[in-house]
Amino acid sequence: MKGAIAVINAGSSSIKFAVFDEQATALRRMFAGSIRDLGGASPRFIVKNGAGDVLESRQWEEGSKLGYEDAIALLLETLPRHLNGQRLGAVGHRVVHGGEHYTAPVRVDAGVLSTLETLIPLAPLHQPHNLALIRTLLSVEPDLPQVACFDTAFHHTQSPLERAFALPKHITERGVRRYGFHGLSYEYIASVMTQRDPALTGRVVVLHLGNGASMCAIEDGKSVSNTMGFTALDGLPMGTRCGALDPGVVLYLMSELQMDLGQVEVLLYHQSGLLGVSGISSDMRTLEDSDSPNAKMAIDLFVHAIKHQLGALAATLGGLDGIVFTAGIGENSSLVRERVCRDAAWLGVELDDSANAAGEAGRISTAASAVSAWIIPTDEEVVIAEHTRRIIDGN
Ligand code: AMP
């Protein structure tokens, strides 16, 4: 691979990026950063080196609006300053939905982009932003190779049974089935967990608990089942998403409460989950610090849903050898980990309270625990960089 690899994760109001170069054969994170409050009132930009020192930062005046084109121009102007004379060789993107078509990363051209745009209704919160950035970059730098890496792809090993809905064939044939998400995170965890403990080659449930949250049953490093389904709305309650819901609720909202499609979408994606239940915040830290009974109810509901799903995933796997906590809440909330592990005692999880309270990456279950429990920080960016390198090198 000639040149550095930039990894971009574009959201609705922020772009996160990380830049890697090749050291011997390994990839090294040179620097990373973000553009926040894109399209909002006070955009901010920051670049930090691998040790976390700020290399560059900028804050725009109140009222300045920054769009995707400005963001791309800013990145193309900024990145070379920190590349130590290397050129940018390729860009890898996190793209939420690859649909039935893409079960592996792909180099993006106009045709691929058009296919990916047809999947926007399946991931309206993320896909439009992922693709808008790729399209903008393709128009200003048509010769810069871009690779799309999908959150759905890791789950393509799931059985047809696992992916099916009990709906008539003329509906399921249109691609209405479970896809699963957070696959780049699960792929990273699966790639490193056996280095922690050989037993993690067996039956493991990984809990990706962040602002978006899901759980994945993994066996022999392959996805068997994921709590997210057709869209990233299913499964656990999240920061602002409702998680699993009786579909009859949607019918009720529309028929009895006269809500239209747009209102239902806003309710389920942006006003539900931890925010909706607590009425305070989508942020777990704020809820843990709050005395409000509604904040307590939001945390209780989150932990309760995890208990349900853990039982279901352990049943799907036919037993359990380990559980792994990752992402913002999984890596940082000793309270949530403690409650989840306590609920999982019947499965054979015995928490080491002091290891859990310390919160360091590594084992947090006792030596005697039949099912081991771990904190493993996720790294979706390095997965995307590796895929991008492989595709550009033609391997
Ligand atoms: P992510 O989407 O992976 O960045 O995770 C964001 C979530 O992690 C938010 O709900 C944060 O409140 C939560 N989080 C981050 N740090 C902590 C912490 N120290 N304690 C509890 N929750 C945390």
Cα 242 to ligand 1 centroid, rounded to whole Å = 18
Q: Which residue CA neighbors atom 8 of ligand 1 most closely?
A: 328
Cα 285 to ligand 1 centroid, rounded to whole Å = 6
Q: Which residue CA neighbors atom 15 of ligand 1 most closely?
A: 328
First to last CA, the chain: 11
Residues of the chain within CATH 3.30.420.40 domain(s) are: 4-150, 198-375
- Which amino acid appears at position 265 of this protein? E
Q: Which residue CA neighbors atom 9 of ligand 1 most closely?
A: 283
pLDDT at res. 193: 93
pLDDT at res. 13: 82
Which homologous superfamily does the CATH classification assign to the domain defined by 198-375?
ATPase, nucleotide binding domain (3.30.420.40)
Catalytic residue chosen out of the listed positions 21, 37, 143, 151: 151
pLDDT at res. 121: 87
Q: Is 288 in the pocket of ligand 1 (CB under 6 A)?
A: yes
Cα 371 to ligand 1 centroid, rounded to whole Å = 25
Task: Encode the chain (395 residues) as per-residue pLDDT tens digits.
Answer: 789 999 999 887 889 999 999 887 889 999 999 999 888 888 899 999 988 999 999 998 877 788 888 888 999 999 999 999 999 999 999 999 999 889 999 999 999 999 999 999 888 878 998 999 999 999 999 999 999 999 999 999 999 999 999 999 999 998 999 999 999 999 999 999 988 888 788 999 999 999 999 999 999 999 999 999 999 999 999 999 999 999 999 999 999 999 999 999 999 999 999 999 999 999 999 999 999 999 999 999 999 999 999 999 999 999 999 999 999 999 999 999 999 999 999 999 999 999 999 999 999 999 999 999 999 999 999 999 999 999 999 87
pLDDT at res. 111: 94
pLDDT at res. 313: 98
Cα 284 to ligand 1 centroid, rounded to whole Å = 6
Which ligand 1 atom is nearest residue 212's CA?
Answer: 2
Q: Which CATH number fits domain 4-150: 3.40.50.720, 3.30.420.40, 3.40.630.10, 3.30.530.20?
A: 3.30.420.40
Which ligand 1 atom is nearest residue 286's CA?
Answer: 12
Residues 348 and 252: their CA atoms lie apart, in Å, by 41
Separation in Å, CA 37 to CA 14, 68, 338: 6, 12, 34
Q: Characterise 14 by phi-psi region: left (phi > 0), alpha (psi -120 to 50), beta (else).
A: beta
DSSP 127-188: HHHHHHHHHHHHHH-TTS-EEEEESSGGGGGS-HHHH--SS-HHHHTTT-S-----HHHHHH
